[in-house]
Structure 1
Amino acid sequence: MSQVLKLRSERAQLNVELQALAKKESEGASLSADDLAKFGELEAKINALTGQITRAEAAERLNATNAVPLNESAQGNASPPAHISVSDNQPAGAKMAQMARLLAAAQGDQRMAADLATKGGFGSDVAMALNTVTAGAGGVLVPENFASSVIESLRPFSVVRRMGCQSIPLNNGNMTMPRILGNTTVSYIGSDTDIPVTGMTFGDLKLAAKKAAALVPISNDLLAYAGVSPRVDAIVSGDLQVSMGLSEDLHFIRSDGTGSKPKGLRYWALAGNIVVAPADPTLQQVEAYLGGLMLRLEMANVSMSSCGWLLSPRTVRWLGSLRDGNGNKAFPEIETGKLKGYPFALTTQIPVNLGAGGDESEIYFVNFADMFIGEDMQLVIAYSTEASYKDGNGETVSAFQRDQTLVRVIAKHDFGPRHVESVVVGTQVKWGKAMLA
C-alpha cells in the first residue's frame, strides 16, 4: 500500500474520533476534562499527519520526474505516431484529465485503469495515483496534488475567482473567521476630562463545505483512440474546468444559501446596498447611478484597490454602445476591460430574464479582496455510460444513445465576504433589452 494512502487512512480514522467529540458538544453535552485533552491530542495528531502527507506527496511527485518519456500510444489502436513526453511541464489539470479518461475507459475499474496507464505511456505518477486512490461518495477520490492543480486552473473559467477572491482551505470542512463589525473611536478631550471608553465589535464569518457537482460528457470514440495526447487532455481538462467554473459562478453570484447551497453575492449584500437602476436613463443618469454604486463602498471605508464589476454581456454591450452629444463613446475604456476605472468580468450566470417582465438583469460592484472561497481540497469523480443529462438547451440526452461516457465531478467549498459592506448590487437593470429583441 502507498505510504500516502496509509497516512490518509490513519488521518481519516483520527478524524472520525474527533468529529464524534465535536458532535457530542454540538448536541448540548459538556466535554469532560479527558474529552478536551483527547480532542487536543487528536487535533495535534491530525495536523502532524497532514504535514507528513504533504511531504510524502511531494516525494512521490519528485519521483515521477524520473519517468522515461514514451511515445504516444492508443492501447492497440492506430493513432498518429508522435514523440510526446508525459512530463511535469504539462498544463494545470492535464494529469487530472488523464486520470479521468483512463478511469472512464476502464468503467471505473481502478486496477484496469492503472494497467492502462502503465502500458499506454502515461506518467508514472498517474499510474501510481490510480493504484492508490480510494473509493468514496460513489466515485473515486482524486489525489490532493491533482485536485489542487484543477482548482488553481479554474481561475480563467470562473469569473468570481478571476476577479481576485481569496482561496483558503477548509480544515475538516469548516472554518470560522472573525470579522470586525465596529471600529474603535479616538477623540480629543480636555486636560481634566475623563477618557471615553471605546471598543471594537466583532462577528464571525462561518464557512462550511457545500457539495457542488458538474457533469462532463466525453465521446467514447475519443476515449478509445486518443492514447497519450496533449490535445485530448486539453479538451477533457477544459470541459471539466468550464463546467465546474460555471457551476461556481452560478452559486457564488446568485445562490440564496438555502438548503445545502452556498450564499452568493446577491444575498450577502446589505439592504441599503441593493439599488434599483433607472429604467430608461439618460447618459447623465447612467453616470450618476454607476457612481452611486461605487460611492456606497467608499462611504463604508472599503479598500478600493481590489474592486471590480460583474455584469451580463447584454449590459456590457449596451454600455459600450452609449455615445455622448458629440458622438464619442461614453465609456471607451470598456474595450480595455474596465468600467469607471475598475476591471469588469462579464458572465451569462447573471440572468437577463429577471423581474415580472422577464427582462431585468443585475450589476455587481465588489471588493473582491474581502471575498473568501473556503475549499475542501478533495475532488470525487464518477462515471456512467448509461445515465442521462440535460444539455445547454435543457434537452434530456442519453449518454448510452450518444455513445458517450459521463464524468461527474464533485467538489466541496463555501463562499462568503469578510465584510458584507464590500458588496453592492444594482437591480432591475433593463438596459440593452432592445438589443435582444
Structure 2
Amino acid sequence: MSEYVRALKRGTMNNLHAPAGDRHIGFDRGDLIPDDHWSVRQASDPTWFSAPVDLGSAEAELAADHWRTGRELAAVEERNSGALETWPAGQQERFGNLTRRQERTREALHGHQVDHIRSLAAGGATESGTPFTAGGTPRRGDPLQGAQTLARGQKITDWLRTNHPHTHDRGGGDLSFDRYLRGIVTADWRGADEERALSVGTATAGGHLVPSPLAATVIDLARAKMRVAEAGATFVPMTTSTLKVPRLTGEGAPAWRNENATITAGDLTFDAVTFTARSLDRLVIMSRELFEDSDPSASTVIAHSFAAQLALELDRAALRGTGSAPEPRGMLNQSGITATAHGANGTVITNYDWWLDAVGAVRANNFEPTAHIQAPRTSTSLAKLKEATTNAYMSPPPSMLPMLTTKQVPINLTVGTSTDASEIYTGQWNQLAIGIRVGFRLQPLLERYADSGQIGFIANLRADVQVFQPTAFVVDTGVRT
C-alpha cells in the first residue's frame, strides 16, 4: 500500500500528492462506496470525493467515465449563469446529454458493486460499509441517503439524521421543542440538559436559531397538518438559500424505421426549477400559565401550536400564493394548469360531474390524480345532494378520489355578481413541491404582551413553492352551493 493510500485511510492528506501510478476517480456524495473496498477523501471541490481505484478494468472504466462526465457538467454550469431555461440552446442540450450519460454510468457502476458484494455475501463474507449482511441476505439501503426530495411519509428529521449526522452528535435522546423554548425564555433548564447543550451558541441579535433536530421536528409536525402534504406533495429540504431541481420537459418518442434507415433521435429534455427561500414570519401568542405549567417532561403543546400556524400558511401559499414578491406562486396562479370556470356568475353544485371531469382532464395529460382539495363547505354540499325522485341522499361514484378539506380555500370569492364562490384543486400532487430551509429562527417577545399575561414569539421560516408539471393539475373556479 502506498503512503498516499495509507494517508487516505488515516484521513491525513496534508501536503500529500498521488503517486504517478495511482488512478483516482470522483464520485457524487451518496454513491455506494464500501469502506474497505475504497479509500475515500473529500476533494477540493466539496461536492466530490476522490478514491484510488482497485477495480476490474470494466468497472474502472465506468468510474473514470462517471468522473469525467461530472467534471464536464461542472464546467458547463460554471460557464452559464441564471436559470437553465435562460442558457443558450446548445448549452441546455449539452447539459441534458451529460446528465443522462452520468446517470447511465452511475447505474452501471452501482450494478458492478452490487454484484461484487453479493458474490462475497454468498460465501458468508462481507465488506464493511456495504448494504448487505453475511450469509447472502441483502439489507435495503437507506432511501434517504443523498435524497434531494422527500415523498409523503418520509420525515425531515430522518433525512437530517441520515445526511447530516453531525447535527445529532449531541442530544441524541428524546428532544423536546417545548423544553427548549421554556429554557431560553425562563433560563429554567431542569430536565432539559440535552436541549440546553443544543442551545449553546444559537442566540443572535435577531433571535434564537433553533437547533436543526428541534426545527426539523416542528417542520415535520407542520407537514403532518398540511393538506397538500396529505395529498402527496413533494418536500425539498434546502440547506442553501437557492436550490435547483431537475425537471423533465420532453420525453421524445420511439419511431418505426425501415431497414438501414437512419434512427430518429428522441432524447429526453430537461430544465430545472429553482427554489428560492422566502421569509415567512408568524406571530404565536400563548398564555404564560400554559407556558409555565405544562408538564415539561412530556408536553408538545407549544410545538403543535407553532406547527399548526405554519401549516395553515404553507397550505394557503401552495394553493393560492400570488407570486408577487415575497410570496411564492401557488397552484392557482401557475401558468400551464387547466383552469375550469363554471359560469359567468358561478354555478351551484348539483352532482359529481365537476370532480369526474377534473380527474379526466388530469389523465388526459398523462398524469394520475391522487386527491381533491376543497373548502369544507364544498364537501358538506356534496354530502347533502339528494335524488330528485326519492329524496334519498345521492351516493358518490365508486371511483371518487379522496376529498381533503381546508379553510385556506375561500368561500367568499367574487365571480360576476356572486360573492360566495369557491374553488376545487385536483391533481397528481407529487408534482407540487414545497422547498423548506431545514431550520428556523425564533424571537421571544417577553415584554410586549406582559400586561395581558401572555408570551409571544415571532417564528421565521424560509420556504418556497414550485410546480414540477403544471399540466398535472386542474383548478375549478366559480363553485357555489
Q: Same fold (TM over 0.5)?
A: yes
Question: Following TM superposition, by how much is the alpha carbon of 1:127 offset from its aligned partner in structure 2, in angstroms?
Answer: 1.6
3-state secondary structure, aligned to 1:369: helix
- Decide which of 99, 104, 129 is 2:180's aligned counterpart: 99
Question: What 5-or-longer segments of structure 2 have no aligned partner?
Answer: 1-44, 47-77, 83-145, 147-159
Question: Following TM superposition, by how much is the alpha carbon of 1:240 offset from its aligned partner in structure 2, in angstroms?
Answer: 0.9
Q: What amino acid is the match of 2:307? A: Q
Could you tell me how far apart the structure 1 residues matched to 2:198 and 2:179 are? 11
**Aligned CA distance change for structure 1 residues 385 and 127 (closer, same or farther; 3 Å):** closer
RMSD between superposed Cα atoms in Å: 2.9
Question: Following TM superposition, by how much is the alpha carbon of 1:227 offset from its aligned partner in structure 2, in angstroms?
Answer: 5.7
- Decide which of 223, 246, 265 is 2:331's aligned counterpart: 265
- Decide which of 363, 366, 375 is 2:427's aligned counterpart: 366
Q: What amino acid is the match of 2:183? A: L
Structure 1 residue 256 corresponds to structure 2 residue 322: yes
Question: Following TM superposition, by how much is the alpha carbon of 1:60 offset from its aligned partner in structure 2, in angstroms?
Answer: 1.4
Q: What amino acid is the match of 1:140? A: H
Question: Following TM superposition, by how much is the alpha carbon of 1:99 offset from its aligned partner in structure 2, in angstroms?
Answer: 1.5
- Decide which of 372, 379, 382 is 2:440's aligned counterpart: 379
CA contact (8 A) 1:293 1:424 kept: yes
Could you tell me how far apart the structure 2 residues matched to 1:366 and 1:414 are? 19
Structure 1 residue 240 corresponds to structure 2 residue 350: no
1:70-219 aligned at under 5 Å gives the runs: 88=174, 95-104=176-185, 106=186, 113=187, 116-117=188-189, 120=190, 122-135=191-204, 138-191=206-259, 193-219=261-287
Could you tell me how far apart the structure 2 residues matched to 1:331 and 1:269 are? 35
Structure 1 residue 315 corresponds to structure 2 residue 341: no
Structure 1 residue 58 corresponds to structure 2 residue 168: yes
CA contact (8 A) 1:269 1:425 kept: no
**Aligned CA distance change for structure 1 residues 348 and 331 (closer, same or farther; 3 Å):** farther
| Residues 72-103 of structure 1: per-residue CA shift (max 9 Å, x gap) | xxxxxxxxxxxxxxxx2xxxxx7112212332
Percent identity, please. Answer: 19
CA contact (8 A) 1:268 1:423 kept: no
CA contact (8 A) 2:239 2:438 kept: no
Structure 1 residue 342 corresponds to structure 2 residue 401: yes
Structure 1 residue 297 corresponds to structure 2 residue 365: no
Question: Following TM superposition, by how much is the alpha carbon of 1:382 offset from its aligned partner in structure 2, in angstroms?
Answer: 0.8
Question: Following TM superposition, by how much is the alpha carbon of 1:166 offset from its aligned partner in structure 2, in angstroms?
Answer: 1.6
Question: Following TM superposition, by how much is the alpha carbon of 1:214 offset from its aligned partner in structure 2, in angstroms?
Answer: 1.4
CA contact (8 A) 1:170 1:208 kept: no
CA contact (8 A) 1:100 1:407 kept: no
Question: Following TM superposition, by how much is the alpha carbon of 1:134 offset from its aligned partner in structure 2, in angstroms?
Answer: 3.6
Question: Following TM superposition, by how much is the alpha carbon of 1:176 offset from its aligned partner in structure 2, in angstroms?
Answer: 1.2
Could you tell me how far apart the structure 2 residues matched to 1:141 and 1:282 are? 48
Q: What amino acid is the match of 2:468? A: R
Q: What amino acid is the match of 1:220? A: R
Could you tell me how far apart the structure 1 residues matched to 2:182 and 2:445 are? 12
Report the structure number with the largest CA radius of gyration. Answer: 2
CA contact (8 A) 2:347 2:478 kept: no
CA contact (8 A) 2:234 2:430 kept: yes
3-state secondary structure, aligned to 1:416: strand
3-state secondary structure, aligned to 1:102: helix
Structure 1 residue 414 corresponds to structure 2 residue 475: no
Question: Following TM superposition, by how much is the alpha carbon of 1:180 offset from its aligned partner in structure 2, in angstroms?
Answer: 1.9
3-state secondary structure, aligned to 1:215: strand
Structure 1 residue 354 corresponds to structure 2 residue 391: no
Q: What amino acid is the match of 1:54? A: H
Q: Which has the higher helix share?
A: 1
CA contact (8 A) 2:180 2:192 kept: no
